[in-house]
Structure 1
């Protein structure tokens, strides 16, 4: 339990860690941002395809995994279409009005399925899976925190306020991780479904958000190599641990 609480806090708090470079440098190049996003996409892809899905299959069957994965994709689709959502990386340099808080709220809500994947991974009882997924999610959260902080700073928000807002976007992720962890503790049958659900939500984020955003400013080649590097890095971690 203590290991889960620590891992969950690190993953959820990574948005705050990612915000620090934005406070220091204040200006991030498109190439730097795109390479970072693609790197995290590779890490998440490896975690979903080589860890979450195989573990779900080992504990259940194809039908259960398919249902869980589809449910994860549909949950993110509903969230995407019902919550006001803006791509932050295309927003800086543009004045924002009352919708600013809606944008931050949308980002925070997108963290919920990520938190679920951390909680379910720890609750599954599979040795080493929880820390590995927490690491993958934490790495994905860091550029998100960077983008949020950079976006807010360019909107003339105080640096300390930008940092705190970026950090607070991980609160929902922490709560959803707790829910996922305790749910698996009471119902073992939900573990493979939850793992597949988490994989589906991660794959949705990768393909719908991270990859398109990393290719949007003419840095597709750099982003592609960064994606492969992230995938290989995660494979190395799975091999070592």
Structure 2
């Protein structure tokens, strides 16, 4: 449990770490943002396909893995359809810090819940080091998200300190979700392979629906592609090293 709490805390607080630069400057070049997003996509792709799915297959059947992956994908699809989703980097609409902006923050927080569940279920797995790997992958994804959320809030005339705090809090929900996922895995027999597969489906959805398109939207597709491959290889190397 101590490892879970530490891993989920560091993963969640990566959102705040990503938002920290907003206290000192207001922008980052599109090129470096795209490179970071693509690197994160590679990390998460490898975590799902070389960490979560193989472990789920070892624990149960291919059918269970298919059910879990499809369920994770569908849950993220439903979340995206029922809560507002705004490209925080490209939106040019000045939304006041009122109900609409709070709704956007709530939507981002909701999207973080499956990520926290992924961390919790991974720590309940029998594979040594899997929880830390998934927490690392999710944390990398949280960092640029935290920066963009804080930047969005500053553009809505929210103070820098308050923007940093609110961005950090959107990631804090992952700690609660991680504990919940870990606890449920210990209570319900046979939940771990479902949970691992669910986490893989959720991560693959984020990679293909969010990270890859965003990293290719500003004319830096080639740099982003190489960054994706490097991220993929880094995570494969970490997975092999921790076996």
- Do they superpose with TM above 0.5? yes
Unmatched 5+ stretches in structure 2? none
* Secondary structure of 1:218's aligned partner: coil
Structure 1's unaligned 5+ residue stretches are none
SS at 2:218 equivalent = coil
Deviations 1:177-230 (A, max 9, x none): 111000111123010000000000000010011111111111111111111111
State how far apart, in whole Å, the 2-side matches of 1:175 and 1:127 are: 22
Say if 1:28 and 1:94 are closer, same or farther in 2 by CA, change over 3 A: farther
Per the alignment, residue 27 of structure 1 pairs with 27
In the alignment, is the contact (CA less than 8 A) between 1:23 and 1:149 conserved in 2?
no
CA shift, 1:33, in A, is 1.4
Q: C-alpha separation between the residues in 2 aligned to 1:234 and 1:21?
A: 26
Matched, 1:214 2:222: no
Aligned-pair CA distance for 1:233: 1.2
Q: Note the alpha carbon deviations across 1:141-180, whole angstroms, 9 max, x for none.
A: 0010011112222222111101101110012211111110
Q: Report matched runs for 1:84-233 at 5 Å.
A: 84-91=84-91, 93-97=92-96, 98=98, 99-233=100-234
Contact kept in structure 1, 2:113 and 2:173, CA below 8 Å: yes
Question: Residue 158 of structure 2: SS of its match in structure 1?
Answer: coil
Return the TM-score normalized by structure 2: 0.95
How many angstroms apart in 2 are the aligned matches of 1:66 and 1:123?
A: 20
Q: Is 1:70–2:70 an aligned residue pair?
A: yes
Shift of 1:27: 1.2
| 1:21, distance to aligned residue in structure 2 (A) | 2.0
Deviates more, 1:218-227 or 1:190-199: 218-227
Q: Distance in 2 between matches of 1:125 and 1:239?
A: 16
Q: Number of residues paired by the alignment?
A: 240
C-alpha distance in structure 2 between counterparts of 1:155 and 1:232, whole Å = 39
- Tell me whether 219-228 or 150-159 shows the greater mean CA deviation: 150-159
Alpha-carbon RMSD: 1.1
Distance 1:125 1:64 in 2: 17
User: Is the 2:5–2:175 contact (alpha carbons within 8 Å) kept by the matching residues of 1?
Assistant: no
Task: Report the CA distance between 1:32 and its aligned residue.
Answer: 1.7
What is the CA–CA distance in structure 1 between the aligned matches of 2:31 and 2:84, rounded to whole Å? 27
